[in-house]
Structure 1
Amino acid sequence: MPSHEPVSQSLWAGRSAETIQYWHQAVKCQKPSDKPHGTGKSISILGYPVDAGVRRNSGRPGSANGPDAIRKMMAGMGFHLDNRIPVYDFGNIGTVGDDLEETQIWVKEWVLERLQSHSFPLLLGGGHDLAYAHGQATMQYCLSKGEKLGIINLDAHFDLRPLLLGKGHSGSPFFQLSEEYPKDFHYLCLGIQRAGNPPQLFKTAKALKVQWIEMQDFSISNWDYIREALDHFCSDVNKIYLSIDLDGFSSAFAPGVSAPSPMGFSPELASKVLNWIADSGKLLCMDVVELNPQFDQDNATARLAARCSEQVLDRLFGHQKD
């Protein structure tokens, strides 16, 4: 059985105000096993404090502490969302020992329940193996409605590695999804670094008809090309599942990750991509993964993860701009 850990309201703390001005005032903490609240619009947060998949992939452990670090940085941010849309934090779902698969089954069912109740899932990692469970749920939800799902991953890596001894890991989630849904796998990866992906992974990506933009082309000066690629990909799908792997950012901005790189993309470019995806009207859910607070500096990576999350939610559910 996976571990269920409710989040203390004390994690969501910050300045006081008479009305809701900050995120910590808006978030209502629930138990992981609590059911969705009605069928109206809402936001459902779930932490995935798991680094078992990172360990299996020979990464440096520590991402299990990522979800709470993101919450702490998000708590004091200004809250600009429509107050009529409730925000629930359902705590953390972790592993007991190395039982990653049982945890993924639970997460899949949790996400599916939220989607069926019209809530927007925001998942905080934890290893990128989260994407297998998250992707399964969104795929099942879309297929049940006859819709085509597109997966967009901001990442230095394809995460299309094969299983290890028959088990998944942080480098295999999208390979697992491609195996499970071969006819319905539509995947765009932004920020791919050649140094982080051996030739065999490029062959795998081509065989699976994956679309990608390599790091040398993924820059703010090349925005028109990137926007065209996004438009081409998104015009062919009904819904989008967005995954943000923090190791895709340059380590100048994101030192606290499992696999840092000095050659990653910038927050400025990521911000434009996130706005474009949110404005598409097709975004169904998102996750932010691979935060490793043990190696962070002045909470820079945790703040970046929190800002990415807040920006997308503000774009989707914020008050109408003047």
Structure 2
Amino acid sequence: MDSQNKRFEFVPFTTQVLQRKVFPREGEIKLGERLKALDNHAGSRYYLIGINEDIGPQANHGKSGSLGAFDSFLDYFLNIQSNEHLAGDNICVLGQVNQMYSHADVEASRLMVEELDNFVLQILNEYLPEDAVPIVIGGGHNNAYPLIKWSFQKLSHPINVINIDPHADLRPLEGRHSGNPFSYAISEGMLNKYHVMGLHQSYNSQYILDELRTKECVYSFFEDYVRGESFSKDLERFFESVSQREYGIDLDLDAIENMPTSAITPSGISIQQARKYICKMGNSPKVQYFHLPEAAPVAVDKLKYLVGKTLSYFVSDFIKMNMQAVNHKK
């Protein structure tokens, strides 16, 4: 399946393809032996989709490299244990979007991002049942926009979003790229209230800070936590606000200290703090999607394991907590 101008392709995964990545061991059941693929996805609630592109960051005058995250993730996720904590039988590994071409020209890149927006939305509409929760891994933060749009169209009303990110991604409406998914979603009436934790004061322009106030966003700065503010208390505060209605969860891997990403940072939240964020925000039946963009394992080859294993922890944390919330509601 190709996008309109064939700049992107979608490769569905089959059970046979997934089994090749599993390393079985006698007396154990690996998650990859239990979860589903497109050829047998009935009964799934969580749909894993990889997006292998870096045109979004490039269209934002950023570096290339937000590629390979999904492959790194699958190497670990498929080989964790299937047990009473996470069996895997309600998880479908749907497939991966691959970028086929790249452009040095910024304007051409932004047109490609629009094509990708439409393609991701098409995939969500064609393959996911109405009650599904997509978990999208890899690519730039530009892919938050089609996730918000899919949720908005499904619900027929705007959603809230919670993000943890050094950058607010509220850049001007200047053509689509990784720095303005939330700007476009707000301008089109699809995003009700935007929440973003852990912004870095020195990496958001005065324009962005003014936009945060004008658009009545809920936000905090990473420097607040450095100076002693409680991260845990802020998790409670943000959760209380975002969960007033259906919402999406974003976690930009750029936020994590020394994580190989398209904009790696020497000062950021820890992996443990990120897991606490996921567990808190994921613990609600109102969650519409979970988005993990910007990882760049290809940027530091020897650290591919760090990206893959970290993403595996994040996804398993989210599914466990969200299942708990959904089952409690029943």
Q: Taking structure 2 as the reference length, what is the TM-score of the superposition?
A: 0.83
1:194 paired residue number:
201
Residue type of the alignment partner of 1:22: K
Of residues 228-237 and 169-178 in structure 1, the stretch that sits farther from structure 2 once superposed is 228-237
What are the equivalent positions in structure 2 for 1:151-190 lying under 5 Å apart?
A: 151-164=161-174, 167-181=175-189, 184-190=191-197
* Corresponding position: 1:46 with 2:56: no
Once residues 119 and 12 of structure 2 are traced to their aligned partners in structure 1, the CA distance between those partners, rounded to angstroms, is 15
RMSD over equivalenced CA pairs, Å? 2.6
Give the direction of change, closer, same or farther, for the CA distance of 1:84–1:249 in structure 2 (3 Å limit): closer
Measured at CA, do residues 114 and 17 of structure 1 come closer, stay the same or move farther in structure 2, by a change above 3 Å? farther
Give the corresponding residue for 1:276: 280
Choose from 190, 215, 223 the match for 1:216: 223
Distance 1:202 1:115, change over 3 A: farther
SS across alignment from 1:62: coil
Please say which of residues 75-84 and 298-307 is displaced more in the overlay.
75-84
- The question of whether the paired residues in 2 share the 8 Å contact of 1:94 and 1:103 is answered with no
Higher mean displacement: 227-236 or 258-267: 227-236
Following superposition of structure 1 onto structure 2, how do residues 28-67 of structure 1 map, counting pairs within 5 Å? Answer: 28-30=36-38, 37-38=41-42, 40-67=43-70
Unaligned stretches of 5+ residues in structure 1: none
Q: Note the residue ranges of structure 2 that are not aligned, 5 or more in a row.
A: 102-108
Counterpart of 1:190, as a letter, is: M
TM-score by length of 1: 0.84
Cα shift at 1:310: 1.2
Q: How does 1:120-269 map onto structure 2 within 5 Å?
A: 120-143=133-156, 149-164=159-174, 167-181=175-189, 184-218=191-225, 222-237=230-245, 239-251=246-258, 254=259, 256-269=260-273
Aligned mates of 2:183, 2:64 — CA distance in 1: 22
Q: Deviations over 1:289-316 (max 9, x none)?
A: 1110123443213321221111111222
Q: Is the 8 A contact 1:288 1:309 kept in 2?
A: no
Question: 1:169 and 1:16, CA in 2 relative to 1: closer, same or farther beyond 3 A?
Answer: same
Match of 2:25 in 1: 16
**Per the alignment, in what secondary structure is the counterpart of residue 316 of structure 2?**
helix
Matched, 1:286 2:290: yes
Give the SS at the match of 1:280: coil
Q: Does 1:105 align with 2:79?
A: no
Asked if the contact 1:291/1:302 (under 8 Å) is kept, the reply is no
| Amino-acid identity (%) | 20
Equivalent residues of 1:191, 1:248 under 8 A apart: yes
